[in-house]
Amino acid sequence: MQQQGPHPDDAVSVGRVLGLHGFDGLVRVQAFSDAPHRFEPGRTVFCDNAPLVISSCVTRRPQRLIVGFDGVDSPAAAAPLVGEWLTVPESWVAELPEGEYFHFQLLGLKVVTESGELLGEIAEVIETGSNDVYVVSGAGGQVLIPAIASVVKDVRLETGLMVVRLMEGMR
């Protein structure tokens, strides 16, 4: 029986196919998962609701992988994957401790200041090594919000809202 992919409302993006690599159907993948086992051979991810079983994976740089899939053995077979998102069902994602969030949970959250000013929505999460930085896009342009307790005051996933205290010079 073929595995059914996650429902779009239940799909968690774990990577995106950036391009082809070589002549054996391998692809370059930007990984968005910190789970060390996510791209191990034998694991399944989904692309447009269709299962793809990973046959090989090599780490090129942090979060940049070269991945092979069972049955994808030529550039022509791999080409339709370029630009596509790789997903897993949300039920496959581990629980995090309270106060910690996966990037997919934060993307799209509305961001407001403590005084209620709407800054925009989280469009991207940048990993810097010391702390993540949230790229908030709104009518006033982009604001970079460091993911530190003195700035991020409240995260309400259930209502899709993040409350922040802007530091001097953040705009």
- Do β-strands 110-113 and 141-146 pair in parallel, antiparallel, or remain unpaired? unpaired
* Residue among 114, 104, 102, 109 nearest 151 (CA): 114
* Distance from the Cα of residue 162 to its chain's centroid: 18
In the chain, the percentage of residues whose pLDDT exceeds 70 is 95
Contacts of 128 (CB under 8 A, 6+ apart): none
Identify the burial level of 68 via C-beta atoms within 10 angstroms of its C-beta, where 0-12 means exposed, 13-18 middle and 19 or more buried.
buried
pLDDT beyond 50 at 1: no
* Distance from the Cα of residue 66 to its chain's centroid: 17
* Tens of pLDDT, residues 79-88: 999 999 999 9
The alpha carbons of the chain give a radius of gyration, in whole angstroms, of: 18
Token pair, residue 27, equals 């692809």
* Tens of pLDDT, residues 89-130: 988 888 888 888 888 889 999 999 999 999 999 999 998 888
- Torsion-angle region of 143 (φ positive above 0: left; ψ -120 to 50: alpha; else: beta): beta
Give the mean model confidence (pLDDT) for residues 52-71: 92
* Tens of pLDDT, residues 21-48: 999 999 999 998 877 789 999 999 999 8
Q: What phi, psi does 92 have (nearest 5°)? A: -85, -5
